[in-house]
Amino acid sequence: MEKKEILEKLTQISPKEEKERKEFLSKISEEKHFIEKVKEKEKKGKKEIVFRPIAQAPPFFEKFLIRILGLSFVIFIIFLVYFIFHYFSKTKI
C-alpha cells in the first residue's frame, strides 16, 4: 500500500463516528436553547427561589462527649506505648 492510500483510509470518517458527531451536535444545540430560555426568564424578572437546606449543628453535649472520648483515646494510646516500652526495657532477652 502506498502512503497516499493509507492517509486516505485514516482520514475517512466511519458512519458510526459521523452518527455520534451528529448526536453530540444536537445535544449542544439543545443546551444552547436551554441557556437562551433561562436568560429570557432572567430578563423578564421572574427569578425562582431555590431553597438549599443547611445541615443542623450537633448539640453541645454531643460535641463535648465526642471530644472527651477522642482525648481519652489519645491519652490511652500514649500510656499504652509508654508501658510497652517500659516493660520491654526492663526485661532481659
pLDDT along the chain (93 residues), means of 10: 80 83 80 73 68 87 96 98 89 64
Q: What is the pTM of this model?
A: 0.40
| Separation of alpha carbons 22 and 43, rounded Å | 32
Residue 45 backbone dihedrals phi, psi, to 5 degrees: 95, 5
pLDDT at 65: 97
pLDDT at 83: 93
pLDDT at 36: 74
State the DSSP H helix or E strand holding residue 21, giving kind and residue range, or none if neither: helix 15-44
Residue 27 backbone dihedrals phi, psi, to 5 degrees: -65, -45
41: Cβ contacts below 8 Å, ≥ 6 apart: 47
pLDDT at 92: 65
Compute CA 33 distance to the chain's CA centroid, rounded to the nearest angstrom.
Answer: 28
